[in-house]
Amino acid sequence: MNVLKTAITLLILSSCLLLAAQANVDTLSTNYLKLPNSEKAELLNGMGLGYLNLNDYTKALQYFEQARGLYEQLGDSTGTARALNNIGNIHNSLGNYEKALEYHLESLQIDEQNGNKKGITSSLNNIGIVYQNIGKWDDALNYYKRSLLMNYEIDDLNAASRCLNNIGNIYLSTENYAKSLEYYQQSLGIKEQLDDEYGMATTLNNIGMVLQGLKSYDEAIGFYERSLEIMLRIEDNDGIASSYFHLGMLNYVLSNNQTAMDYLNKGLEYSILANDLNLQKSSYNILARLYARMGRYEDAYNNFKLYTEIKDELFSEQTNRTITELKIKYETSKLEKEFDLLHQSANLRDIELKRQKAFITLIIIICIILSGVSIYAYHLYRQKSFSHKIIEDQNWQLEDANKQLKKLTTTDPLTQISNRREITEKIKFEASRFDRNRKPFAFLMCSIVNLKSINERFGSDGGDLTLRTMAGFMRSRLRRQDGVGRWEGNVFLLVLPETSLQGSQIVMQKLKDEIAKLDIVYGRFSIKAAITFGLSVYSKPRNIDDCIKDAEDDLRSKITEVPTDELSFTL
């Protein structure tokens, strides 16, 4: 419940900042300081999780340590254990495994003393992940299986399925395919029971890897395709990219060159969309080999060059991680000294107030970050390659808050389609894809030219209904890969990937014909929306803004040509 309060608090703070960016810092500080220490601790822990999700380990550590300090002052050993577990997760992510074990074991000891079985299972699982990351398979299996038994005992099927998946990963890493398949199938059964589509897709993908290892290639393709189907349905770009990559890899092994190339290129598109540099690197590497095999040496060279560039970029990221680790060691030492002084001070309350005012600005910053960028969905069960490094003990409440924040920043509140910002990102992505495949894409700018008349006759409710109906209608008539967003007022912008001038004209005419037959029922009235389209096609490198302006100019020129009777509505 406290964690849920924390997530809701984050959402409220972020929404307030979006509506009033100039909010008075002193007022926010005063309100924060009025919170009970227990709620402050939960808020600090939630802030740490937010920064951990953004891979800002230094700030995440600061918040977790602050939370830990408050938990200790309150005598809340359960909260202390949770904070220690989170700190261990940071060190594990940085590859500082010895330190990670130290914190996880301390957390485990506290939860065992308290009899907190949920906390115990979490620590056992995280310790297993650390041992898996350093290749100590037997130790990892021991901790995973202990966690699994206790999860069954407390009837936590979701956590049990994660343990089963982790155990399957161990056996897959050691090429014990029979045991790996056994545990993956158990995990899949639970995922199906829980109707966890993401978990099902991930486990299906893992089973595909097992079957590929067993050289049961046809069966492996079947499982990869099932995984891909679900990932496409839930629109998980990371998962889609992974499924396409595995299908491409398997067809590469089978020397199905064209099929492999198609899958790998599709996977590459989604890995770019998901900003997954590791998968991009692997895709460019295999594509370079594939093109060389096919005698397309220029393409092979270009892909190998991209592979090298991303490899260098990842090396630079690793260097930054090393620097971050050193910085964290310094910050940890500094924070420990601060806590020693804090406990020794007779004026504890005054010091606490000063310290809280000092970091209240950071609270505002994280809220702005959570509101202003696309928050990546939690990936609790991500399985990349033979071992994963993602800590799976995050709070679903924070994930839900992040999803709501993302929706606020990308969706038009009235029509529930993409807002101008989101559709602009779609345009940038299509322009980037054009640079790779040279396939044109089209803009259709659509205006409801009689919206003003509708508003005058029926009021804003009638106008709003017309906008919502038109948005939903156009979305339902377009392909999954097409984009539709509210550009401004009564204007929508449609983005049609891989569509020529002729193709876009066909789409435009089809929409015109169907909208002409559409009746928008408003009480006992029937509203007819009169629409006009403007068209432009991006078929050669040019300024995106100019291409959009062409569509706007085309739209304006046609609005003046709309007959008066088309601007009316029927009653």
Exposure string of 471-495, with b = 16+ CB inside 10 Å and e = fewer, is: bebbbeebeeebbbbbbeebbbbbb
CB 448 within 8 A of CB 467: yes
How far, in Å, CA of 238 to CA of 341, rounded?
Answer: 46
SS3 216: coil
Number of H helices, E strands in the chain: 22, 6
pLDDT of residue 316: 55
Angle between helices 117-133 and 157-173 (to 10 degrees): 20
Angle between helices 97-114 and 117-133 (to 10 degrees): 160
pLDDT of residue 315: 60
Q: Which CATH superfamily is domain 237-335 in?
A: Tetratricopeptide repeat domain (1.25.40.10)
Same fold for the pair 237-335 and 415-567: no
Structure tokens at 307: 């592979």
Q: Architecture of domain 415-567 in CATH?
A: 2-Layer Sandwich (3.30)
pLDDT of residue 314: 67
pLDDT tens digit sequence for 341-360: 444 443 444 444 455 544 44
pLDDT of residue 368: 46
Q: Would you give per-residue pLDDT tens digits along the chain (571 residues)?
A: 444 444 444 444 444 443 433 333 344 444 556 778 888 888 888 888 888 777 778 888 888 888 888 889 989 999 998 989 999 988 888 888 888 899 999 989 999 999 999 999 999 999 999 998 888 889 989 999 999 999 899 999 999 999 999 999 999 888 899 999 999 999 999 999 999 999 999 999 999 999 999 999 999 999 999 999 999 998 898 899 999 999 999 999 899 999 999 999 999 999 888 888 888 888 888 898 888 888 888 888 888 888 888 877 766 554 444 444 444 444 544 444 444 444 444 344 444 445 554 444 445 445 444 444 433 333 433 444 333 343 333 444 444 444 555 666 788 888 888 888 888 888 888 888 888 888 899 999 999 999 988 988 888 888 889 998 898 888 888 888 899 999 998 999 999 999 899 988 999 999 999 998 888 888 888 888 899 999 999 988 888 888 999 999 999 888 754 443 343 444 4
Structure tokens at 239: 């998962």
For the chain, the structural domain boundaries read 237-335, 415-567
pLDDT of residue 570: 45
